[in-house]
A and B are shown apart, each in its own frame.
Chain A
Amino acid sequence: DTGVSQDPRHKITKRGQNVTFRCDPISEHNRLYWYRQTLGQGPEFLTYFQNEAQLEKSRLLSDRFSAERPKGSFSTLEIQRTEQGDSAMYLCASSLDGVTGAYEQYFGPGTRLTVT
């Protein structure tokens, strides 16, 4: 296992369509995070899972966004009825659990979403 992977790397969609992204974490990591990064900004936290449980959700995560992590392995992030403001890079990260390990997050290459 060489790191966090994300699919697709790029997605172009029309406004109003639904999109789904996938993230595969480092295999021994039980925490998985989703962030959104717009041009010229740092990543902003969206949500995170410990195993299959979704523990925290940002207020940025509107009801059009939903994330799942069935069986505590890969995760999906779905955006329904996309809007132009959803255009961004969606980053996934994973980490170990525990006091020290929880914070050392390893990032995937991201999925760049363009909504036309």
Chain B
Amino acid sequence: AQTVTQSQPEMSVQEAETVTLSCTYDTSESDYYLFWYKQPPSRQMILVIRQEAYKQQNATENRFSVNFQKAAKSFSLKISDSQLGDAAMYFCAFGGSQGNLIFGKGTKLSVKP
């Protein structure tokens, strides 16, 4: 069975600084997708970034980028130039052959002005 582990329950970053959120996963599949979702307080889940396992190049979306290490089964999210609006719960998710997503427990990110 696939598992997703986020080892940082909470993280804090100063506005305009850079922060990295960690995620590891376990799977025996070779083709899969990895995602980072953002869930602001009392608001709905938003897709931040997606990585296809067969692509070696790390995905980037504006200030958000990932460090995907397939052999190590690691998928971290880097947020550059952090903004107050980045404060939220961040969930790492695995999408494999079953079709559904498997989520980690999340990391609560606080941004200090």
Contacts and interface: CB of A to CB of B under 8 A. Distances in A.
B30 interface: no
B78 interface: no
Contacts of A100: 52
Contacts of A110: 44
A65 interface: no
B45 interface: yes
Contacts of B91: 42-43
A108 to B, nearest CB: 6
Interface in B30-74: 33, 35, 37, 43-47, 50, 52
Contacts of A108: 44
B67 to A, nearest CB: 20
Among B37, B52, B99, B105, chain A packs the most CB atoms within 10 A around the CB of: B99
Interface string A32-45: 01010000111111
Nearest to B102: A45
Given A56-B98, A109-B44, 16 more contacts: A33-B101, A35-B101, A40-B105, A41-B106, A42-B103, A42-B104, A42-B106, A43-B103, A45-B100, A103-B35, A103-B95, A104-B35, A105-B101, A107-B44, A107-B45, A108-B44
Interface of B: 4, 33, 35, 37, 43-47, 50, 52, 91, 93, 95, 98-106
Interface of A: 31, 33, 35, 40-45, 48, 55-56, 58, 91, 93, 100, 102-110
